[in-house]
Amino acid sequence: MKNKYFNKINTFLIIIFLTGFLSLNFNSFASDNDTIVPIRKNAEEILKNLNLNSGSFNFWEDKFVGHWAGIDLGFNTFLNKDYTGYESEFMKNEMIRSSSWNLNLIQQSIGLQRNRNNFGLVTGIGLEYQYYRLNDSTTIERNENDVIVPKHFFLGDNQRSKLFLFSVTLPLLAEIQIPINNYRNRLYFSSGMYFSYRIVSYTKVSYRTGQMHRLKITDNYSLQNFKYGLMFKTGYRWINFYAKYELTPFFKKDKGPELTPFVVGITLLRFK
């Protein structure tokens, strides 16, 4: 009888203990749920603030993308001038009025890292349209020995003289990118060689005698057909600069003054 009484008491105490334990855990669970506040933000925006680019793993991109495709505006000048055998520097141009327009249409990026995407090679194809603003009363012509000589003229008022070149360009650049403010914005530096082939060249003289006249003469002007040089590009977001230093003389050897073309400019529009 006594054992039966103690068994009932033990069973009762166990029930009370289990009830209290479950009650405490249930209240704790409910309290935790009550404190959860849903974040009403786009999941992608939340993830972008996480540092997922650490180590050798890049969460966002698995391909290297360089900076070539776009529209560039540059300004032309000549360096290392040598007019030996000539009486004047007739190719002296106005840099601010002598421009280059580059339409870089095709780009190919080649990543050189296995698990990252901030270093690689960049190549492609571009079209370059250059003109050099010469002295208003001077143009150039090619004599019977293919030597370039100045030709002075006075045809009317408001005279202008320019030399135009149209070329196809192919770059081969090595580029490194430095992420700033997470993965989106990158400061980049690229440098290397470019190769160019001249398609056409011509001079144009404009003058006014009551109405505007333009005299255009297409010729090779003893210019180099195939050219190559050094190129440097840098930028951050929409601020981009470039420079080109040609390693081939402007004119063929002994056919004109020795001039080294140099271009510095900005990127107006990027395609990628």
Question: Is residue 122 in a domain?
Answer: yes
- The reply to whether 203 and 68 lie within a common domain is yes
- The reply to whether 143 and 88 lie within a common domain is yes
Question: Is residue 12 in a domain?
Answer: yes
Question: Is residue 194 in a domain?
Answer: yes
What residues form DSSP beta bridges with 127?
A: 103, 168
Q: Which domain holds residue 27?
A: 2-37
Question: Is residue 50 in a domain?
Answer: no
Question: Is residue 172 in a domain?
Answer: yes
- The reply to whether 10 and 138 lie within a common domain is no
pTM of the model: 0.75
Give the count of domains, the chain: 2
Question: Is residue 180 in a domain?
Answer: yes
Give me the pLDDT at residue 41, please.
57
d(C-alpha 23, C-alpha 209), whole Å? 104
Question: Is residue 91 in a domain?
Answer: yes
Question: Is residue 59 in a domain?
Answer: no
Give me the pLDDT at residue 124, please.
97
d(C-alpha 112, C-alpha 151), whole Å? 52
- The reply to whether 27 and 152 lie within a common domain is no
Q: Which amino acid is at 215?
A: L
pLDDT by residue for the chain (272 residues), tens only, comes to 545 444 555 555 555 544 554 444 444 444 445 455 555 556 555 545 555 544 444 444 568 999 999 999 999 999 999 999 999 999 988 899 999 999 999 999 999 998 888 999 999 999 999 999 999 999 999 999 999 999 998 887 789 999 999 999 999 999 999 988 766 789 999 999 999 999 999 999 999 888 888 999 999 999 999 999 999 999 998 999 999 999 999 999 999 999 999 999 999 999 87
